[in-house]
Amino acid sequence: MISRILLVLLVASPLLLKAQATDDQLQLNTITTSMPFLAITPESRGGAMGEAGTALSPNSSSIFWNTAMLNFSEDKAEISVSYTPWLRKLTNDMSLSYISGYSKIGKRAAVAGSLRYFSLGEITFTDANGEFIRDDKPSEFEIAAGYAFRLSEKSSIGINGKFAYSNLTGGLVVAGAQTKAGVAGIADISYAFRNPDIRWFGVRGTYSLGVTINNIGNKISYSELSRRDFLPQNLKIGNAYTAELDKFNKITLSIDIQKLLVPTPPIYALVDGEQQIVAGRNNDVGVIGGMVQSFFDAPGTIQKDDNGDYVQDANGNYVIVKGSKFKEELSEIGLSTGLEYWYANVFALRGGFFYEAPNKGARQYFTVGAAFQYNIFGIDLSYIASLKRDSPLSNTIRFTLRFKLGQKIKGESEKPE
């Protein structure tokens, strides 16, 4: 039974996937979190652009990417439904479903909401002897509400309040401990800047900047005896530029950088018969302390001698490879980039690339996608092509249906009240 629960935790999110190879100076030191499903991209537009969606133009999925962007929408309201069969190379019954929408309130505010449901499929629980206990269908969900307020003609702020529930074990007793569901209260904060009057090389365009901190919330555990783990708190900074080539053709380039605001695991070694931290910092800290610590706590790599043993100096301190701490901090920054082409606001083609360092998870893949918009109806599709043949993320497909509601708001994105 325990092995099955670990399998559930392993395949629930790419945040837990292990790297196959690392830099010569950097050891494998993946940062893991609780409720990793919160960080999975649930919709197809950003998913097709390498997951670079923080500064993209607003739509019904902006509550996931950047709620503050909603104030720049020229549509009164929109609702969308998305579905993603997840990790189909490992199992055929895991999926992520997502419904989201927004509505403008006057010219200075917008409200949004979403529901995310993650099904981990059917799992058979057994005891330590392999005897059948019961079949179960572990699942997780998140309910979110968002509000965006326009500060000026070109800037906006947003905030989300979320409730998340994760039931992975169905209350079974594991290793003598009574398990329980994880429950979290969560907040997102976001900022958006948008200038629609950019002219580069004689071409009119729109520049957007987005900054978000997502999934700020309480640490959770799945039993009274287990350690409480951080949520996937994440800082994202996105830039996007849309060039309007003519009245029919426009191209958008989007670039995101992101960093988990979760402490890096330290390095332990056996000292005087006890496991002690020999490099890095204790990562069993509070939520705010952990967010701050995540910027400077990388342990780096301890030097080893020819026998593979850790090297110590004359004072008994373990010797860290020069520059490896800084290099590991940099490796915790992920990069996403995407390109989108629209023809007559009817048909779109998209592509992108997502990069994560080999020692921090090694998710590296291309994405492609397409969209069709007719009147109030739109459909988006995206596809993941992993650089690694055996990656569980390979061949992932996302589907999104969008429905615009209400009348288009002329000029609203340019002048607030």
Q: Please spell the DSSP secondary structure of 138-179, one letter per residue.
A: -EEEEEEEEEEEE-SSSEEEEEEEEEEEEESSTT-EETTEEB
Beta bridge partners of 274: 271
Spatial distance between the Cα atoms of 374 and 351, rounded to a whole number of angstroms: 21
Where would I find the H helices in 223-319? 287-293
Query: Does position 385 have pLDDT exceeding 50, yes or no?
Result: yes
- pLDDT of 1 reads 37
Convert the pLDDT of each residue in 309-328 to its tens digit.
888 888 888 899 999 999 99
Burial class (CB in 10 A: 0-12, 13-18, 19+), 76: middle
Task: Report which residue type is found at 381.
Answer: L
Query: Does position 408 have pLDDT exceeding 80, yes or no?
Result: no
Which is higher by pLDDT, 356 or 173? 356
Spatial distance between the Cα atoms of 413 and 393, rounded to a whole number of angstroms: 37
> pLDDT band for position 413 (50/70/90)?
very low
| Rounded-to-5 percentages of helix, strand, coil across the chain | 10, 50, 40
Which is higher by pLDDT, 66 or 181? 66
Tell me if 351 sits within 8 A of 371, measured CB to CB: no
> pLDDT band for position 24 (50/70/90)?
low
> pLDDT band for position 270 (50/70/90)?
confident
Using alpha carbons only, give the angle 163, 144, 410 rounded to the nearest 5 degrees.
170
Q: Over range 54-58, report the average pLDDT.
A: 97
Q: Over range 112-122, report the average pLDDT.
A: 94
> pLDDT band for position 407 (50/70/90)?
low
**Could you tell me where in the chain the CATH 2.40.160.40 domains are found?**
2-262+335-408
> pLDDT band for position 248 (50/70/90)?
very high
Tell me if 18 sits within 8 A of 10, measured CB to CB: no
- pLDDT of 175 reads 65
Using alpha carbons only, give the angle 299, 304, 305 rounded to the nearest 5 degrees.
165
How many Cα atoms are found within 13 Å in the side-chain-facing hemisphere of 14? 24
Spatial distance between the Cα atoms of 7 and 68, rounded to a whole number of angstroms: 37
Q: How far is CA 123 from CA 3, 12, 15, 133, in A?
A: 11, 13, 21, 11
Q: How far is CA 182 from CA 3, 137, 163, 172, in A?
A: 19, 16, 11, 14
The end-to-end CA distance of the chain, in Å, is 60
> pLDDT band for position 410 (50/70/90)?
low
Extract the tokens encoding 36.
Answer: 């990793």
Query: Does position 12 have pLDDT exceeding 70, yes or no?
Result: no
Query: Does position 388 have pLDDT exceeding 90, yes or no?
Result: no
Q: What is the mean pLDDT of the chain?
A: 88
Spatial distance between the Cα atoms of 110 and 106, rounded to a whole number of angstroms: 8
- pLDDT of 328 reads 95
Q: Over range 129-148, report the average pLDDT.
A: 87
Convert the pLDDT of each residue in 160-213 to its tens digit.
999 999 998 877 776 667 788 899 999 999 999 999 999 888 899 999 999 999
- pLDDT of 14 reads 39
> pLDDT band for position 275 (50/70/90)?
confident
Q: Over range 127-139, report the average pLDDT.
A: 77
- What is the dotted CATH code of the domain comprising 2-262+335-408? 2.40.160.40
Beta bridge partners of 408: 75
Q: If you search the block for the tokens 């569901």, which residue do you land on? A: 181
- pLDDT of 87 reads 87
- pLDDT of 246 reads 92
Query: Does position 230 have pLDDT exceeding 50, yes or no?
Result: yes
Query: Does position 130 have pLDDT exceeding 80, yes or no?
Result: no
Query: Does position 272 have pLDDT exceeding 80, yes or no?
Result: no
- pLDDT of 327 reads 95
pTM, two decimals, is 0.89
Query: Does position 22 have pLDDT exceeding 90, yes or no?
Result: no
DSSP 31: -
Tell me if 26 sits within 8 A of 325, measured CB to CB: no
- pLDDT of 19 reads 37
